[in-house]
């Protein structure tokens, strides 16, 4: 009823605005998107029959703003959920559902900002708290409650919030509380201690922060005492001095046995505390950018419901410290952080050969070199208590989860021709990353070549060619290759996508509105000859202003889809797709 009331208020505001065309009544902006997909059974790719044959997801956001006041609602519907989304999106009876699960009102003043209703927020890098949405994954853990931000002085921000987390069209059972203090030390020193350039103060930017978050969930009772209030806290800094920068965050979490860190195994109930550390340094100057990052997490899966799984009711954000790719074949073996324990590092170099130099040519040449590594933590089971383990915090364990060494070179040859070449060499521990023992590891190499040729001022043709070579290797606990008694390699379990792949895309664009593309992904190296399948796709996109219409047809391979470091499984499908989005 309250939702309806808010909607009516917004509508009245919109209508009166529309009627009078005056700004003093405020304004309404918004956006919407409709994604519909048809499904046809296709045994050649493992696409299963979908009884409804056509399914659609849609949302509409409306934001009303008047001076310092704003309010918004989002209508969402899943009729039924597009394949790959959690089936709980279809509502309690599984028939499809729609509603307004997101609504808020906000008042912003110079000294404070108050939000009532749903909101997104994060503390630091998100290790102890982040509520956010990834629409492409069907992830939305917005809080419903109140949030107050205070700005008592320039450079000082205090944020407090309390609420319950969204779980599909309902809320989780846990209560979430969080507090954060952010201090821009440079700004405060400059303003209150009269620092100036003469003291060198302004050449440095130092910000410090500290936060805590906590959840409450009743202990249902039983053999083990489960903590009802679980707190996490973190401290962070960010220092920028000329061309150098350094940032870090340390986080820790009280013990919290959950379904993810082996709550359901009474013999291994995990009563360890959690810890996380992130450190990153960078050097940036014209034409050269270098960054080196290190991250470790230990038992940091943090949820407002100890029984939830997958991406439901997650309270924090632990993205992978690896390069994020959009090239199609590189989405076959994506890696996501192992929240129960991981040590990772990443180095990244951006270098641009200057225009006019031998390697830069007329337009300059950009090279990106990147290396990332993720391994297990170094832990042993505590000899005195089976519910604890000992960890050498921060130290690399033996088992390798992921490794990627890659280079990309982008060059514009003349006014009309641009190219991008890339090579990636990866180690992917499928057993760990996908939680599927017996599937071994995948060692892959990927080559990518992309060329675009501009035919006229508005017409461009672009071609992308990719190839992936993959070796599937059965391994033991430490990652050593498994051999049988005769010394022959043991074959790992393989899923439908395996072996070598080739990919080619052709795209023709007419700026600013039209895109026509076709591509084919061909799993020609599949060990099973029946699964050497072409996954062909065709798409037409029309854009005008902020409206986009996309029509497509094709076969989509099953696999893991990752956005922003969070992944979900998407089953294979064959059919038409329509997507319409607009902002206004």
Partner 1 sequence: MKHLVLLCIIAFTSMSFMVSGDETVKPVLPSANVKKITGESVNTSTLHNGGKPIFVSFWATWCKPCIQELASIAENYDEWKQTGVKVIAVSIDDARNEAKVAPFVKGRRWEFDVLMDPNGDFRRAMNVNAVPHSFLIDGNGKIISQHNSYAQGDEEKLLEEIKKLTSGTEGAK
> 121-180: which residues touch partner 1 (CB under 8 A)?
121-122, 125-126, 130, 132-133, 135, 157
Query: Taking contact as CB under 8 A, which single stretch among the options 35-43, 253-261, 285-293, 307-315 is the one that binds partner 1?
Result: 285-293
Residues 441-500 that bind partner 1 (CB under 8 A): 452, 454, 457-460
Residues 194-253 that bind partner 1 (CB under 8 A): 205, 207, 238, 240, 245, 247
DSSP state of 368: E
Residues 529-548 that bind partner 1 (CB under 8 A): 541, 543, 545-546, 548
Residues 383-412 that bind partner 1 (CB under 8 A): 410, 412
> Minimal distance in Å, beta carbon 368 to partner 1?
8
Interaction between residue 27 and partner 1 (CB under 8 A): yes
Q: How far apart are CA 229 and CA 253, in angstroms?
A: 11
Interaction between residue 111 and partner 1 (CB under 8 A): no
Q: Answer yes or no: are the C-beta atoms of 18 and 10 closer than 8 Å.
A: no
From 272, 390, 251, select the one nearest 315 (Cα to Cα): 251
Decide whether 183 or 230 has the Cβ nearer to partner 1.
Answer: 183
User: Three-class SS of residue 322?
Assistant: coil
Q: Which of 214, 365, 509, 574 binds partner 1 (CB under 8 A)?
A: 509
Q: Answer yes or no: are the C-beta atoms of 245 and 285 closer than 8 Å.
A: no
Decide whether 4 or 380 has the Cβ nearer to partner 1.
Answer: 4
From 107, 113, 115, select the one nearest 131 (Cα to Cα): 115
DSSP state of 198: G
Interaction between residue 350 and partner 1 (CB under 8 A): yes
Residues present in the chain in total: 584
Cα four-point dihedral sign 329, 560, 129, 296 = negative
Q: How far apart are CA 524 and CA 542, in angstroms?
A: 33
Decide whether 65 or 382 has the Cβ nearer to partner 1.
Answer: 65
Interaction between residue 285 and partner 1 (CB under 8 A): yes
Q: Which of 38, 44, 255, 284 binds partner 1 (CB under 8 A)?
A: 284
Residues that contact partner 1, how many (by CB under 8 A): 103
Residues 550-579 that bind partner 1 (CB under 8 A): 564-565
- Cβ neighbours of residue 408 closer than 8 Å, sequence gap 6 or more: 367, 368, 420, 421, 422, 448
- Cβ neighbours of residue 513 closer than 8 Å, sequence gap 6 or more: 542, 543, 544
| Backbone angles phi and psi of 207, in degrees to 5 | -125, 145
Tell me the residue ranges of DSSP E strands in 389-533. 389-412, 417-429, 441-454, 459-473, 501-510, 514-522
Residues 76-95 that bind partner 1 (CB under 8 A): 77
Interaction between residue 57 and partner 1 (CB under 8 A): no
Decide whether 24 or 223 has the Cβ nearer to partner 1.
Answer: 24
Query: Taking contact as CB under 8 A, which single stretch among the options 117-125, 193-201, 388-396, 468-476 is the one that binds partner 1?
Result: 117-125
Decide whether 259 or 579 has the Cβ nearer to partner 1.
Answer: 579
Q: What is the bridge-based pairing of β-strands 112-119 and 54-66? A: unpaired
Decide whether 199 or 228 has the Cβ nearer to partner 1.
Answer: 199
């Amino acid at each position: 009823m309250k939702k309806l009331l808010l909607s009516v208020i917004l509508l009245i505001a919109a209508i009166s605005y529309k009627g009078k065309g005056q700004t003093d009544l405020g304004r309404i902006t918004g956006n919407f998107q409709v994604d519909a997909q048809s499904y046809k059974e296709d045994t050649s790719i493992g696409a299963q029959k979908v009884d409804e044959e056509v399914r659609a997801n849609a949302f509409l956001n409306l934001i009303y703003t008047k001076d310092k006041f704003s309010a918004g609602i989002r209508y969402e519907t899943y009729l039924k959920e597009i394949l790959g989304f959690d089936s709980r999106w279809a509502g309690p009876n599984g028939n499809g559902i729609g509603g307004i699960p997101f609504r808020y009102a906000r008042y912003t003043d110079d000294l404070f900002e108050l939000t009532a209703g749903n909101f997104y927020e994060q503390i630091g890098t998100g290790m102890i708290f982040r509520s956010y949405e990834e629409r492409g994954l069907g992830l939305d853990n917005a809080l419903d409650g109140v949030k107050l931000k205070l700005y008592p002085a320039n450079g000082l921000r205090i944020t407090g919030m309390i609420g319950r987390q969204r779980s599909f069209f309902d809320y989780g059972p846990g209560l979430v509380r969080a507090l954060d203090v952010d201090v821009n030390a440079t700004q405060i020193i400059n303003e209150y201690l009269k620092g100036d350039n003469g003291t060198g103060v302004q050449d440095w930017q130092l910000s410090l922060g500290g936060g805590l978050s906590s959840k409450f969930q009743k202990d249902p009772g039983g053999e083990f005492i489960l903590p009802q209030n679980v707190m996490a806290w973190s401290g962070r800094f960010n220092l920028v001095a000329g061309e150098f920068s350094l940032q870090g965050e340390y986080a820790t979490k009280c013990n919290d046995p959950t379904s993810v860190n082996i709550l359901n195994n009474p013999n291994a109930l995990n009563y360890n505390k959690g810890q996380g550390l992130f450190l990153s340094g960078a050097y940036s100057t014209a034409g050269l950018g270098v960054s080196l990052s290190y991250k470790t997490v230990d038992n940091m899966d943090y949820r407002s419901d100890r029984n939830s799984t997958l991406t439901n009711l997650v309270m924090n954000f632990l993205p992978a410290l690896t390069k994020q790719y959009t090239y199609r074949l590189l989405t076959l073996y994506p890696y996501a952080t192992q929240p129960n324990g991981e040590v990772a590092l990443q180095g990244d170099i951006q270098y641009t050969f200057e225009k006019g130099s031998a390697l830069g040519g007329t337009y300059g040449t950009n090279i990106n070199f990147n290396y990332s590594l993720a391994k297990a933590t170094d832990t042993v089971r505590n000899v005195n208590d089976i519910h604890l383990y000992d960890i050498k915090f921060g130290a690399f364990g033996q088992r390798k989860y992921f490794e990627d060494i890659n280079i990309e070179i982008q060059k514009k040859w003349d006014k009309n021709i641009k190219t991008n070449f890339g090579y990636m060499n990866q180690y992917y521990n499928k057993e760990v990353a996908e939680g599927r023992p017996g599937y071994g590891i995948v060692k892959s190499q990927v080559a990518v070549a992309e060329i675009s040729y501009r035919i006229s001022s508005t017409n461009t043709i672009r071609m992308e060619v990719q190839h992936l070579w993959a070796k599937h290797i059965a391994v033991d606990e430490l990652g050593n290759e498994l051999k049988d008694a005769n010394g022959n390699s043991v074959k790992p379990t393989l899923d439908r996508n395996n072996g070598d792949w080739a990919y080619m895309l052709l795209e023709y664009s007419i700026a600013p509105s039209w895109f026509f593309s076709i591509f084919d992904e061909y799993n020609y190296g599949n060990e099973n000859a029946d699964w050497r399948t072409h996954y062909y796709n065709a798409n037409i996109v029309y854009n005008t202003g902020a409206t986009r219409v996309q029509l497509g047809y094709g076969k989509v391979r099953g696999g893991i889809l990752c956005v922003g470091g969070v992944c979900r499984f998407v089953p294979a499908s064959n059919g038409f797709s329509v997507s319409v989005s607009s902002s206004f």
